[in-house]
Amino acid sequence: MKRVYLALACGIIALGLVHMAATTRFFAALTQSALWFLGSGLAMVLTGALNLLNRSYGGVAPGLRWVSVAANAVMTMFALTAGLVGRASVVELLVIVGLLAGATVLSALPHSVIA
């Protein structure tokens, strides 16, 4: 389970980095929309990093585990809503929501289960 959690966290980080890099492709100028798009990628990267911290230290820092669960749950709902509003394809929705929902489930498990 710990390897799956690692893969999900790294996948979230990678997707966030791709999202940030795509900002210049989708926006010709620095606009408010471009900054929000970039910020969404940054939020994904930080969520992935939080999952890496939880994976390593969640057993000795229970507060970290609950913050990680909350961040994953909020990001899952945000990604689902943004995807639906932005008319993302089914594959795009499955990738991002799958990564975040999987991380939500694994982050909620007791540390001894994912060890």
Residues 67-93 as b or e (16 or more Cβ within 10 Å = b): bbbebbbebbebbbeebeeeebeeeeb
Residue 78 confidence (pLDDT): 95
Sketch the domain layout of the chain as residue ranges. Answer: 2-114
pLDDT tens readout for residues 33-87: 999 999 999 999 999 999 999 999 988 888 999 999 999 999 999 999 999 999 9
pLDDT surpassing 80 at residue 114: no
Q: Which residue has the tokens 């230290």?
A: 57
What are 85's two structure tokens? Answer: 């509003």
pLDDT at 113: 62
- Report residue 28's pLDDT band, with 50, 70 and 90 as the boundaries: very high
